[in-house]
Structures are given as structure tokens and as C-alpha cells.
Amino acid sequence: MAIQQLEPESNVASEAPSYAFGDAEFQILDDTPINPVDSYELPAPVEGFAKPGEIDADILEMVSKLTLKEKIGQMTQIEIGKLMDKDGFLDLKQVEYWVDEWKVGSFLDSPGNHGGKYQVYSPERFTEVVDSIQKVALEHGPKIPMIYGLDSVHGANYVNGAVLFPQPTSTAATFNPKHAYESSRIAAKDTRAVGIPWIFCPCLDLNVEKIWARNYENFGEDPYLTSEMAVASVKGLQGNYKKDRNRVAACMKHWIAYGKPNSGKDRGSAWIPDNFLLEYFVPPFQAATDAGVASAMESFSDINGQPVPTSEFYVETLLREHVGFKGLIVTDWGDIWRLYQDHQTAKGEYDATWQTIKNTSLDMSMVPDNGNFSEALLHLVETGRIDESKIDAAAARVLQLKKDVGLFEQPYADKSLHTTVGSKQDVALAIDAARESVTLLVNKDNALPLKKEQKVVVVGPAGNSISFQNGGWSLRWQGSLGNEEYYGGRGITIVDGIEQVTGTRPEYVRGPDIDGKWTQEDRDQVVAAVKDAEKVIVALGENTYAEFGGNIDDLTTSEGQLELVRLIKKSSNADIITVLVQVRPRLLKDIPELSSAILNAYLPGSWGGLAIAEIIFGEVNPSGRLPFTYPKHGSQSSVTYWQGVYNYFNINGGEESYYSPEFPFGYGFGYSEITYSDIELSSNTLELDGSSIEVSVKVKNDGSYPAKEPVLLYTTQSIRPGYAPDAYRLRAFEKVDLAVGEEKTVKFELSRKDIEYYQRDLKKHADEGVNFTITINAYQKDARKARFVTGGAYEFTR
């Protein structure tokens, strides 16, 4: 397809005087109407799943014909802001500059984040920007198509009208990888629709530090759950990415252990023993690699004092050799610059670039806003400090990715996808995912579900907001900060959802704002609204944020929101149904005591209000489970369920467990009575020769609601010589559909790999002759346990 004449008056400036942002009037949305079709059919997905591997002969030949500067250009990624003029239009002269002067091979990000005329671009306008850059790339410099990358974290969140799915932590709470697959598949389609074949997802950092601002982009605190969701996401995003042009190349990130900053602040240093890194943090990346993920992004962190980008150990030994990752590695934003700016491990750009390229097989630098990387690398190769073969290998991996995603055959967007963006068919998938994610944590005297004829009042800053249901990475990097206009009415708030479910629009009073600030008038309105109410739904949440924009010093729920719940209790006899619309587990203080029920809705996306309402009124039986530990005290911010197998004595007497959170990992229940049989094992001995034992349990729905029951299997090693065992480790799960009265047998296999662990020699070990406990649904009232022993004799008794 040839790109049409670019239209300066719409999106592309013909003669732009400079690229510095001016005082242009920016608009929220462009004026292209968003009218998706209700349903659509895509060509059948191409069978099979692809993997990065050897470099093709034609790519090697191509590399051999490029100049050094052109090869370095392929390794260079520049952000879109460098291409915009002062009025927010794409400045073709700037594109030409980067392509002609620096031979840049890749661009990234939403123009709305970087001085674009619009805060959010329609599929048409976004395509126009991307295709226009592509056109320049094809006609200038080395005339190689550029590859554009975008963060489509929960759907194509930067494309106006695209369906915004629940954020990944919500997806994890479903314990149903199907939802990770589907949301990723749609994100891929809608991102492809604007000509972008590369998505910087999935995020596979573990939510081990609860105050960290990026938890919601990930799949919770457990390595196995995250791994299962990683595989489903990679398959959904990529499919057979070497052939299927409705899919994209995925990018697992952030390699590695980015989610455990010592300070709790985004990008902070981490100290993690190597055996723990291998045990907990590597497995999701291993799973994504085995599923064929095409690329990986490094983290900003320094771990054990070493910034990842220059670390031979983290990049070469761990990622390339141990994990066996063969795809493209890109830095995170400005990582090389940060080596001298923040980490202070290099003297300047030349030194930082030298250390990085010398020590690792990095393929692309997300520079993102100057020619320094290219200039430095050019100099380093020309002066013999870096061998050109390293540049050849990196450029080859970049070009191979371009070939794999089809850029050499079809460099421009497939505009026929535009009308599918935001279709009802996709909305239905997002609502389904939200339905399965919402987690019931407290339900005193069966306070929920409510009857449809019961009058409810909705209170709280997250009660009528699409913005707060989405969080960050939604239309804009920092989210829409409560500005509902961004959504153009596309979405369902809790108030809307209740209206849809009951036929009556409930009274809504905000109370404090999302940051907890309020006036006496706000308080008076709340008191007036709730004083005679029977049921009050209080929706609490957080403002939208991304990355360091979400750093906080105190995990406690904002004072105003705590006060809101207390004020309702004081002013009325109503049952308080608290709905938490947030992933970061803000400390609840006395909210559990004051509430009759608590639902954790996490960040359920634009359409999540319907799912919440359906659950409140019993149309849907809640089936989410907490994918992380919900702390009770600030001191528990970095506590995970696998730690703390032993108890300790409290100085004031009594014994306390290290694991005593507000709600444990895996917690949550539904409205139906589910009965579990005892566990049956095919053998009480697990031989360590690779054979397996079968674990089975019968699950019956004895209640009156159809159920989707997550069955979670954990192992616990009773004695582990020389190393403290985990309290529990999730080894398998399955979500089972159970009609009323139905019983099913759920079967799992356990083998050596499920009981191995890393020791200081960085090798996996399995202990002979030790007892293990299998627990189904640890921390739940219906937990079931069984014992097995590993084959062989315990070393001490031999």
C-alpha cells in the first residue's frame, strides 16, 4: 500500500521551523469520529507459535551491505517527541533529520505523551503519524523500514476508542490465563491497526514490594501465576508473529527484579541474592522465553550494586545463557544515560556506551532523545574499542525482528483494522475478564449480594469514574487523572453499572476527592445522602499514575477516604459495602471492621463498573482471588506469602507468625457453598527420577449460584537441610466451572521440578527422603492437605 499525500493541516506539518514545543493549543481528542463495528471476523490465526532463533541468510547479507553508521542506526530508538513541531504536528523535517543524519531504525511512544497536538489520537490520526514516519524511513537514509514500539499495557491504551481491558493485576486475579491471552490478542490487533508491530509488554516483575508504584502492570507476587499469565500474554500478543499480521512482537520486561526496590520507590536499587533471583524472579521470564517472546527490555535497576544494562552477569550469563533468550534486547528509557546520570557507574556517554556494548549483547538503546548513543558507539568502533562484530550481531537481530513482523513486505498500517478498534465484541471480552477478577474479601452475614429492589447510595471518589477504574497507562502515560472527558463516555462506571443491573440510577455523592481532600460541604452532602440509607456502596481508590509519578511514602489509605468510611458509619445504620478500585493495597486500618462486605475490584478497566454491579447484585458470582498479599501494616509492605514459615515470640508474650497480613495471597470466595473432598494421591512417594504423582480432589458446588472456582495447589517442604523452606509455593491451579449441584474432579501432576530449589551454588536441588505437604487453597477455610515423601534417604540418616 502506498501512503497517500500527507496532509499538513490534519496531522503532519509541511514546514516546521523547529521541534521545540511551543505554546500550541493542545486538544484532548482529535475530531475523527469513533464508530467501531459491533462485530467483525479476522482471518483465522496462523497456526503455531513462533520463536526468535537464528538469523536468516538474507538478513546477514543485508547487514554486510550496511555502513557502520547505518548499523548503529538500527540499534537506535528515538521517542516521538523529537519528531513533533511546536504546534504538535509531526515534523517531517525532523524525521528526515533522524533518519538521514543518524539512520535511526526505531521510534516509540504516543505523540500525546510528547507534545502532540492531541492528548489522545484516533486510530486514523495515530496511523497517519506512524505511516508518515515510515514513509520517510523508506525514502531516506538506508531506506529500511523503521520499527515502532508502544506500551499497550491493557489493550491498545494509547489509541482512542480501543477497548481498555482490566490492568494485568486484575487479569492475574482471575486465575484464568484465557483472559491474559484475549486481552493481549486484542491489544495486538488494535496496536497493529495503527501500524505498530511491537508492544513493550508483558510486564513480568513480581509484586513483592507493595508500595511500589508499578504493581498494577504485573501479574501479582507469585512466580508461577506470573509465569502462566506470561505464557498466555505472549501467545495472545504474538501468536505466530512471523506470519500473522494481526499480531505483534512482544517484549518481556523489565529484566530483572525491577519490582523490588529497597526504597519502595520506582527505579530504586535492589539487593537480591542470586539464588533468590533464580528461584523467584527468573521463572516468569523463562516461561515467556520458552513461549517464544521476541524481545526483552532491561530494567532501570541496579541489583547488588550493578546496573543491569552493563552487567555481563545479568544480561549474558543469566538472560542469554541461563534463560537461553535469543531475541532482541532493548534498554529501558534512557538507561545508558542513566549510567552516568543516576547510577554513577560511568564517566559519561562514551564510557557508559562502551561498558554496555563491551559487556553485553544489547541490541537497541532506547536513547531516546539525542544522537549521543550513536555518536559514542561510532567513535568506539572506529577507534577499535568495540569490535564491529558486536554491532553486526545487534543490527542483525533488529533487522530480523523487522523481517519477522512483516515490515519488509508491508511497512504500513492495515487500515482495514480501524473499524474493529473498540468493537462491542472486544468490549464483551473486557467485561468478562473484569467479572472474573473482582475478589470478595469480606462478606459478614452474607451482606452480599444485594437484592435488586434494595435502594443503594453510592459514595466515594471511585464510584462514578472511568478514569480511576483504569489507572495509569490509559490514554496517557499518567492516565487521565480523573478527567472523564478523555473517555468520551466509553465505559461503565459503578453508578452506570448499578443502573444497568437494577434499572434505577443510584444517588451518588463523591465525598473527598481521590487524593482524600474534602470540604465541610462535601461532608455534609455525604451525611445527607447516607443518613437514611440501608446500603451504602463506598468506592475508594487512587488517582491515576505511572512509574515514579506514583511514588508514595505511606501505604495507608488517604486520610480523607478513611474518614469517609468512618463518617458513613457514624451517620447511618446502613450496611457499608466497600469496593476497592485500586491495585496497590493501601492499608485499610478500620475499614474491614466498619464494612459489611469488601470487594477488591483492582483496576478493572473502562467497562469494569458493570462487572462490579453484577457482583454486588448477585448476577455474577465473584471468582477472583488475591494475586498478592494484602498487608495490614506498613511494615508488611514487602511481605510475600512464600516467606515466613516459622513463628517468632512477641516480647509481650505469645507467638506471632511472620505472615499475618490483612488478606493472604490466594484469598477470596464466592457466594456459593463449595465442598472439597480430601486429596487423593496416586502415590505417597515422589521419586526424584522425573516420574510424577497425580493429585486429585473433588470439588462440588453445593450452593445456589453457578461458580467458577479457582483450585490452587501449593507444596510445602517440611525440612530443607541448610535452607529455610518456603511457607507455601503455588505449583498449579485450575479454574473450574461448576453448575449448581455439579461435582468435578480436578487433577494435577507433581514431579521433581515442583520441589526443586536453588542453593548458593546457583543450581537446582531436590532433597531425598523429606516430607512435603500438599495444600489445596492455602489460607482459605476449605483448605485441604495431604502428605508425600520424596524418594531416597534423607542425607543425615543415610
Would you tell me which residues interact with ligand BGC (CB under 6 A)?
Answer: 108-109, 151, 200, 253, 332-333, 547
Q: How many contiguous H segments (helices) and E segments (strands) does the chain have?
A: 21, 33
Q: Is 761 a catalytic residue?
A: no
The set of residues, in sequence order, having a beta carbon less than 8 Å from that of 736 and lying 6+ positions away, is 699, 708, 709, 710, 711, 744, 746
User: Given the complex with ligand BGC, which of 332 and 496 has the nearer CB atom?
Assistant: 332
C-alpha–C-alpha distance, residues 483 and 475, integer Å: 11
* Nearest distance in Å: CB 379, ligand BGC: 27
* Nearest distance in Å: CB 251, ligand BGC: 8
**Candidates 109, 332, 335, 496; catalytic one:** 332
Angle between helix axes 177-192 and 424-437 (nearest 10 degrees) is: 150
* Nearest distance in Å: CB 298, ligand BGC: 10
C-alpha–C-alpha distance, residues 254 and 748, integer Å: 31
User: Given the complex with ligand BGC, which of 258 and 758 has the nearer CB atom?
Assistant: 258
User: Given the complex with ligand BGC, which of 253 and 490 has the nearer CB atom?
Assistant: 253
User: Given the complex with ligand BGC, which of 157 and 480 has the nearer CB atom?
Assistant: 157
- Half-sphere exposure in the Cβ direction for 73 (13 Å, CA): 23
C-alpha–C-alpha distance, residues 434 and 332, integer Å: 30
Burial zone of 619 (CB within 10 Å; 0-12 exposed, 13-18 middle, 19+ buried): middle
User: Given the complex with ligand BGC, which of 141 and 264 has the nearer CB atom?
Assistant: 264
* Nearest distance in Å: CB 212, ligand BGC: 12
Residue 570 host element (H or E): helix 559-571
For the chain, report the end-to-end CA distance as a whole number of angstroms.
73
DSSP string, 490-535: -S--HHHHHHHHHSSPPEEE--S-TTS---HHHHHHHHHHHTT-SE
* Nearest distance in Å: CB 366, ligand BGC: 7
User: Given the complex with ligand BGC, which of 197 and 670 has the nearer CB atom?
Assistant: 197
* Nearest distance in Å: CB 363, ligand BGC: 15
Cα angle at 242 between 240 and 243, to 5 degrees?
A: 75
Angle between helix axes 388-404 and 57-65 (nearest 10 degrees) is: 130
User: Given the complex with ligand BGC, which of 91 and 151 has the nearer CB atom?
Assistant: 151
- Amino acid identity at 256: I
In the three-class reduction of DSSP (H, G, I as helix; E, B as strand; rest coil), residue 34 is classed as coil
Residue with cell 518456603: 726
* Nearest distance in Å: CB 84, ligand BGC: 16
DSSP string, 759-790: -TTS-EE--TT-EEEEEESTTSTT-EEEEEEE
* Nearest distance in Å: CB 301, ligand BGC: 11
C-alpha–C-alpha distance, residues 701 and 739, integer Å: 7
User: Given the complex with ligand BGC, which of 253 and 708 has the nearer CB atom?
Assistant: 253
The set of residues, in sequence order, having a beta carbon less than 8 Å from that of 641 and lying 6+ positions away, is 221, 222, 629, 659, 664, 665, 666, 727, 728, 778, 779
- Largest Cα–Cα separation, the chain: 83
The set of catalytic residues is 332
